[in-house]
Amino acid sequence: MNISYRKHTLANGLDVLLHEDRSCPIVAVNLWYHVGSKNETPGHTGFAHLFEHLMFEGSKHHDKGFFPPLQGAGASLNGSTNADRTNYWELLPSNALELALWMESDRMGYLLPALTDAKFKNQRDVVLNERRQNYENRPYGLAPMAMLAALFPPDHPYHWTTIGEIADLNAAHVDDVREFFATYYHPANASLSIAGDIDSDAALDLARRYFDDLPAGPAVMPVRPDTPPLGAESRFVLEDRVELPRLHIGWIAPAMFAHGDADLDLACDILANGKTSRLYRRLVYEQRVATDVSAAQNSREIAGFVQVAATAAPGHTLAELERAIVEEIGKLADEGPTEDEIQRGRTQAETQFVFRLQSIGGFGGKSDQLNAYNVFVNDPDYFQPDLERYRRVTRESLQSAVHTYLTTSRRAVLSIVPKGKTILAMPGSQPTRVS
């Protein structure tokens, strides 16, 4: 699973990761900034995602759209933001590498001179429209906001979603986001990966040519707040424009790469990944009380959370779903998984690792994985140790993780019901709102 690479840190703190793969005449440029929505504060949310948009609007020496020059050279490109990081990538013919590095360096070092109030307001409106499309106007789309608010206290950096709060985005001023950019988007808080049809020495020379003279920027202090466990069960109801009620159950879980993280990953696979999983087989296939069911361990840098979701079939209640989910989780905690389930989970984990290594660029390719490991564990060569976490999962360790974390006494239960039908919610649910 390991791939060859070289790592160099420039004088300004920028990590440069180089991987040669001459099998195809393409090169991947992948840039991670160690900033996400967790670096925001209450009242000032949505800035990291907003900059994902603003970074494509031009910089001092190319004050126009970021896409046309690269697409004209044959590139595909994109970016994304989550709670813990922001990334940008280009996948392009190897003879266009210098163009990609020049453009990435210009927006890293010279974005602010080109950031006007008009650009800021335009992209803020784009983000607000994206929020309407992906959350407010999508069936069950407000569930992530409600669940995060229920699982994490208001001052915790995972209390809000990456898209940000409407009031915060409307109140934001261009000077606020300028300060945010100056704090986080600089070489000392970034990792650059160049992979593909390259000569490592020549690629490093290009990286130095375009990034060496950029100032390091201020030291970024790690965000490491305490994540208190849920003290008791809480139940909430959210009315939405939906036809069928849906149940979400969430628990606080270990952080990314922490003890128990891999165990809960496999536990969620056993519970609801695929048509042979326990919950799908029982709720959807055999009893037909649900139209769908899912489970996921959401690994994050500070803390994770497990979520199980199921939509009630017509004529059935959320209480029926909840009883079945509790019973199946209880069986997994009391009896543990079968050896076949463990082996299937390990195989699925290994398969996902292989899939991520099949490409050099894009989301999840080799260049992206090198940056991920470098940013989160300061070790680009973490492929094998990461995979070994899943190979070390045993029946006993998985059983212990489920018993420890997926308890009925410390969880958040969210009922999403059709408007005006709160009677369909789980008993004892309190109304909740999202903003």
Q: What are phi and psi of 13, to 5 degrees?
A: 100, -5
Q: Does 249 share its domain with 162?
A: no
Residue 140 placed within a domain:
yes
User: What is the CATH number for 271?
Assistant: 3.30.830.10
Q: Does 279 share its domain with 329?
A: yes
Domain range enclosing 367: 234-431
pLDDT number for residue 1: 65
- Cβ-based neighbours of 129, under 8 Å, separated by 6 or more: none
Residue 379 placed within a domain:
yes
Q: What are phi and psi of 58, to 5 degrees?
A: 110, 150
CB atoms within 10 A of CB 185: 22
- Of 31, 8, 37, give the one whose Cα is nearest residue 372: 31
Residue 219 placed within a domain:
no
Q: Does 240 share its domain with 120?
A: no
Taking CB atoms within 8 Å and a gap of at least 24, the contacts of 325-328 are: 325/247, 325/249, 325/279, 325/283, 326/408, 328/271, 328/278, 328/279, 328/282
Residues of the chain with pLDDT under 50: none
| Cα radius of gyration (the chain) | 23
Rounded CA-CA distance 422/40 in Å is 34
- Domain count for the chain, please give it: 2
Q: Does 107 share its domain with 202?
A: yes
Q: Does 49 share its domain with 151?
A: yes
Helix (H) or strand (E) holding 86: strand 86-93
Residue 224 placed within a domain:
no
- Cβ-based neighbours of 232, under 8 Å, separated by 6 or more: 409, 410
